[in-house]
Amino acid sequence: MDSLTQIVLGAAVGELALGKKIGNKAILWGAIAGTIPDLDVITKWFFDPVRANELHRGFSHSILFSLLAAPLLGWVLAKLYKNSHATWRDWTLLMFLGLFTHPLLDAFTTWGTQLFWPSPYKVSFKSIFVIDPLYTLPFLLCVVLAMRLKRENPKRRYYAKSGLIISSCYLVLTVAIKGYTYSKFEASLIAQNIEYLDIQTKPTPFNSILWTANVQTADAYHIGYYSIFDRTDTIEFSIIPKNHHLLGASREHPLVERLIKLTEGWYTIDQQEDSLLFNDLRFGQLDFEDPESPFVFSYELYYNDNELHAKEPEKKFRDGYALLKKLFNRMGGI
């Protein structure tokens, strides 16, 4: 999830763990703990885009990292605040909750997270977009209300707990909506006699109302959209050829093998002038109404000195307001 959401979640669990003893310091350090796992973004400064994306949401988002880092950070904070009422165990609990709830929440997003690192398996329920105001804003309000009260006030805990309960209930609701919309996609595919190999569904940006499905067939992908407010169960699917044959002999190159593993096999290939474009289908396109729109994540494959390289192409500016307007109009149903 986005940084603000992780800060709010960390602040809430920090308050519940230690707010009675140290007040807003618990919220502060819970918020900091909630952001620490995402420090793995610094890998972009040291590695190529492929390696950086392979490392993202890896070790720092694992149960093992939380177990190892929490006692160490707890010891540092116990030394820093040695005159407070909190013990090393108290600080360790706070840091563990802040560190662990971060990847736990990330597991519900499309990217997923390696909770069981060093296992390469990524837990990904794909039920919530990385930025969802309906999850974050009520939660944020509750945390702000708690911060404004003195640590002895029992309402602090009430507000923090309420925020956690409301957000968790919404998270469970997104899983239920995912199941409902999945059944709609599946029924529409059957009604249209589309034989498919696999199907993945996920919410579109900033909401849990409009959902999209990537449907894999033998030589193409069918992409469709369904809103819970749609008045028809017939879903139109755009067809995007896989074009995997364009890779040619490069298909066996270790770099391409890594990209295929990174995308979990959900990719298409486009021919450019002197290079190929490797598109990651999992995160959709920049314009959901335009089948020709660029994908959010792509890699340009090119040869330099007889060595295959990959880089992320520069994204062209798009009218964000117009895209959001189309998105919200489509959420209203057809």
Q: How far apart are CA 161 and CA 157, in angstroms?
A: 6
Q: How far apart are CA 203 and CA 65, in angstroms?
A: 29
| Tens digits of residue pLDDT in 228-269 | 999 999 999 999 999 999 999 999 999 999 999 999 999 999
Q: What is the pLDDT of residue 318?
A: 67
Whether the per-residue pLDDT at 314 is higher than 90: the answer is no
Q: Which two tokens stand for residue 131?
A: 């930025």
Query: Do 303 and 318 touch, CB atoms closer than 8 A?
Result: no
How many angstroms separate the Cα of 179 from the Cα of each of 77, 98, 174, 214?
43, 29, 9, 15
Q: Which of 56-70, 159-173, 300-314 has the lowest mean pLDDT?
A: 300-314
Average pLDDT over residues 181-195: 97
Q: Which two tokens stand for residue 272?
A: 């450019």
Average pLDDT score over the chain? 95
Length of the chain: 334
| Tens digits of residue pLDDT in 42-93 | 998 999 989 999 999 999 999 999 999 999 999 999 999 998 889 999 999 9
Q: What is the pLDDT of residue 104?
A: 98
Query: Do 68 and 62 touch, CB atoms closer than 8 A?
Result: no
Residue 117: pLDDT band (50, 70, 90) is very high
pTM: 0.93
Positive or negative torsion for Cα 122, 126, 129, 133: negative
Q: Which amino acid is at 208?
A: S
Strands 267-271, 295-304: pairing kind: unpaired
Q: Which amino acid is at 326?
A: K
Q: What count of other Cβ atoms lies within 10 Å of the Cβ of residue 189? A: 20
Q: What is the pLDDT of residue 84?
A: 85
Whether the per-residue pLDDT at 131 is higher than 90: the answer is yes
Residue with tokens 């398996």: 121
Residue 317: pLDDT band (50, 70, 90) is low
Whether the per-residue pLDDT at 191 is higher than 90: the answer is yes
Q: Cα–Cα–Cα angle for 112, 115, 120, nearest 5°?
A: 75
Q: How far apart are CA 97 and CA 100, in angstroms?
A: 5
Q: How far apart are CA 206 and CA 1, in angstroms?
A: 11
Q: Cα–Cα–Cα angle for 266, 267, 272, nearest 5°?
A: 175
Residue 200: pLDDT band (50, 70, 90) is very high
Q: Cα–Cα–Cα angle for 44, 47, 51, nearest 5°?
A: 95
Q: Which amino acid is at 66?
A: S
Average pLDDT over residues 95-108: 98
Within 123-236, strands assigned E span 198-203, 210-216, 220-227
